[in-house]
Amino acid sequence: ARTAAVIPAAGRGVRLGPGAPKALRTLGGTPMLIHAVRALAASRAVSLVVVVAPPDGAVEVKSLLAAHALPERTDFVVVPGGASRQESVRLGLDALPPEYDVVLVHDAARPLVPVDTVDAVIEAVRDGAPAVVPALPPSDTVKEVTPAAAPGAPEPVVATPDRSRLRAVQTPQGFDRQVLTRAHAEVTENVTDDASMVEQLGLTVVVVPGHEEAFKVTRPLDLVLAEAVLARRRL
């Protein structure tokens, strides 16, 4: 089985606040996207990384990849992304050569995922699961509410799902390539992760243990945490 990784990196990063597109912001002096590319290319199973760049940033991303040390055994392709994460992933899948039969989809916004998590996802796909997601039990109790019409207004609670049955999902998510391609062709509803599209096809998605360091950089405080994790690694 040949394995490729698609890295959607085309988002603006609105929740992080004003500045460059999120994937191009630096952590420890290196763009977040480069950390994410290195994290996936660190797996010996990954022989191709497709980076989905901001729509007008493909040239800049290509020169960033050329300017940073990356494993020789890995090929890199850059394509421009779209208006939604879902569209960006589909554009990345369209760029995959036919010989790849396992595909990982990994957020550029999760720059610090450990290689052991990447390898565990790949192994579960190679063992026959059509879709695999790394996830952790949530540390907070989660409530379902009726969302407020106005921001900040009190929101009535509808239910409190049993926390022991909940998992907070991360990336890389791993797929049988044909399954994910079909999901992206057939599911039109907007979703926030790729595995849920496979669920909509009626196929079983399995969860494997995620990792704390695979957290997503979403808000400014996440940058503080990411810098601290990097500094700890460099000790």
* Site for ligand CTP, rule CB under 6 A: 8-15, 22-23, 52, 81-85, 88, 107-109, 216, 218
- On whether the CB atoms of residues 167 and 136 are closer than 8 A, the answer is yes
Amino acid at 100: Y
- Shortest spacing between CB 185 and ligand CTP, in angstroms: 18
Distance of CA 70 to the CA centre of its chain: 19
List alpha helices for the chain, DSSP H. 32-41, 58-67, 85-94, 115-126, 177-186, 194-200, 220-233
CB of 98 to ligand CTP, least distance (A): 23
Say which residues have a Cβ less than 8 Å from residue 31's Cβ, sequence separation at least 6.
23, 24, 25, 64
Give the span between the Cα atoms of 45 and 23, in whole angstroms: 24
Number of residues in contact with Mg ion under rule CB under 5 A:
1
Work out how close the CB of 14 gets to ligand CTP at its nearest, in angstroms, rounded to a whole number: 3
65: its two tokens: 């990849």
Residue number, 85 or 177, with CB nearest to Mg ion: 85
Q: Which CB, 102 or 217, lies closer to Mg ion?
A: 217
CA pair distance 26, 35, nearest whole angstrom: 9
Closest distance between ligand CTP and the C-beta of residue 89, in Å?
7
Q: Which residue, judged by CB position, is nearest to Mg ion in the bound state?
A: 11
- Which range of residues in 3-11, 135-143, 205-213, 214-222 is near Mg ion by CB under 5 A? 3-11
Restricted to residues 8-37, the positions that interact with Mg ion (CB under 5 A) are: 11
Stretch that binds Mg ion, among 6-14, 49-57, 174-182, 206-214 (CB under 5 A): 6-14
Least CB distance from residue 167 to ligand CTP, whole Å? 18
User: β-pairing, 102-105 with 3-8?
Assistant: parallel
The residues binding Mg ion (CB under 5 A) are 11
